[in-house]
Amino acid sequence: MAADAHKLEIFRGLIKFKSNTQKIWGVLILLSIITAIEVVLGIYKPESTMKSFFGMKILNWIFIILTLVKAYYITWDFMHMRDETAGLRRAVVWTAVFLICYLIFILLQEGGYVFDVYKDGFIKRDF
Amino acid sequence: MNTTVATTDTEGKTWEGGNQPLKASYGKMMMWFFIVSDALTFSGFLAAYGFSRFKFIDAWPIADEVFTHVPFFHGNYPMIYVAFMTFILIMSSVTMVLAVDAGHHMNKKKVTWYMFLTIIGGLIFVGSQAWEWATFIKGDYGAVQTKGGNILQFGEYATVDGEQKFKRLSITDFAVASPTEREQHSRDVGLWFVEEASLPAYQVGDIVKGMEANPNILVRTQILNEEGEKTVLSREESLQQIKENGRLVVQGANLTVNEYGSPLFADFFFFITGFHGFHVFSGVVINIIIFFNVILGTYERRKNYEMVEKVGLYWHFVDLVWVFVFTFFYLV
What is the predicted pLDDT for the residue at A5? Answer: 67
Nearest-CA distance from B109 to chain A in Å?
16
Q: Write down the mean pLDDT value for chain A.
A: 87
Instruction: For residue A116, give every residue at least 6 positions away whose Cβ sits within 8 Å of its Cβ, in sequence order, or none.
Output: none
What is the predicted pLDDT for the residue at B17? Answer: 73
Residues 152-211 of B with CB under 8 A from A: none
Nearest-CA distance from A106 to chain B in Å?
9
Q: Which residues of A touch B62 (CB under 8 A)?
A: none
A10 touches chain B (CB under 8 A): no
pLDDT in tens, B53-98: 999 998 999 988 888 888 888 878 888 899 999 999 999 999 999 9
CB A39 within 8 A of CB B84: no
pLDDT in tens, A112-123: 999 998 888 777
Instruction: For residue B10, give every residue at least 6 positions away whose Cβ sits within 8 Å of its Cβ, in sequence order, or none.
Output: B16, B17, B18, B19
Average pLDDT of the residues in A31-45: 91
Taking an 8 Å cut-off on Cβ atoms, the answer to whether A85 and B316 are in contact is: no
Beta bridge partners of B220: B153, B232
pLDDT in tens, B258-269: 999 999 999 999
Q: Is the pLDDT of residue B3 over 60?
A: no
What is the predicted pLDDT for the residue at A3? Answer: 42
By C-alpha distance, the chain A residue nearest B44 is A103
Q: Which residues of A touch B57 (CB under 8 A)?
A: 111-112, 115
Which residue, A36, A60, A65, is CA-closest to A50?
A: A60
Indicate the angle between helix axes B26-55 and B306-325, nearest 10 degrees.
10
CA angle B89, B94, B99 (to 5 degrees): 125
Residues across chain A: 127
Q: Is the pLDDT of residue B155 over 50?
A: yes
Q: Which amino acid is at B50?
A: G
Instruction: For residue A16, give every residue at least 6 positions away whose Cβ sits within 8 Å of its Cβ, in sequence order, or none.
Output: A8, A9
Which residue, B201, B212, B218, is CA-closest to B153?
A: B218
Q: Which domains does chain B have, with CATH numbers?
A: 21-140+264-331 (1.20.120.80), 146-248 (no CATH)
What is the predicted pLDDT for the residue at B265? Answer: 95
Residues 14-53 of A with CB under 8 A from B: 20-21, 24-25, 28, 31-32, 35-36, 38-39, 42-43, 50
Q: Write down the mean pLDDT value for chain B.
A: 89
Q: How far apart are CA B263 and CA B255, in angstroms?
A: 7
- pTM reported for the whole predicted model: 0.88
Q: How far apart are CA B332 and CA B327, in angstroms?
A: 6
Average pLDDT of the residues in B225-247: 89
pLDDT in tens, B94-135: 999 999 999 999 999 999 999 999 999 999 999 999 999 999
Taking an 8 Å cut-off on Cβ atoms, the answer to whether B44 and A35 are in contact is: no
Taking an 8 Å cut-off on Cβ atoms, the answer to whether A67 and B64 are in contact is: no
Q: How far apart are CA B249 and CA B146, in angstroms?
A: 9
What is the phi/psi pair of residue B197, to 5°? Answer: -70, 160
- The interface predicted TM-score of the complex, written ipTM, equals 0.90
B101 touches chain A (CB under 8 A): yes
Q: How far apart are CA B288 and CA B296, in angstroms?
A: 12
Which of B43, B98, B323 comes nearest A70 by C-beta?
A: B323
What 3-state DSSP class applies to B245? helix
B19 touches chain A (CB under 8 A): no
Which residue, B235, B271, B265, is CA-closest to B253?
A: B265
By C-alpha distance, the chain B residue nearest A87 is B22
Taking an 8 Å cut-off on Cβ atoms, the answer to whether A88 and B324 are in contact is: no
What is the predicted pLDDT for the residue at B4? Answer: 55
Indicate the angle between helix axes B306-325 and B80-104, nearest 10 degrees.
160
Q: Is the pLDDT of residue B5 over 70?
A: no
> For residues B45, B49, B55 and B60, what is the CA-based torsion angle, rounded to 10 degrees?
170
CB A110 within 8 A of CB B47: no
A3 touches chain B (CB under 8 A): yes
What is the predicted pLDDT for the residue at A20? Answer: 87
Radius of gyration (C-alpha) of chain B in whole angstroms: 27
B87 touches chain A (CB under 8 A): yes
Which residue, B146, B155, B153, B174, is CA-closest to B259?
A: B153
Which of A2, A5, A111 comes nearest B51 by C-beta?
A: A111
Which residue, A10, A28, A41, is CA-closest to B89?
A: A28
Taking an 8 Å cut-off on Cβ atoms, the answer to whether B90 and A31 are in contact is: yes
Taking an 8 Å cut-off on Cβ atoms, the answer to whether B47 and A103 are in contact is: yes
pLDDT in tens, B296-313: 999 999 998 999 999 999
Instruction: For residue B300, give every residue at least 6 positions away whose Cβ sits within 8 Å of its Cβ, in sequence order, or none.
Output: B106, B108
Lowest average pLDDT, out of B180-189, B248-257, B286-295, goes to B180-189
Q: Is the pLDDT of residue B184 over 80?
A: no
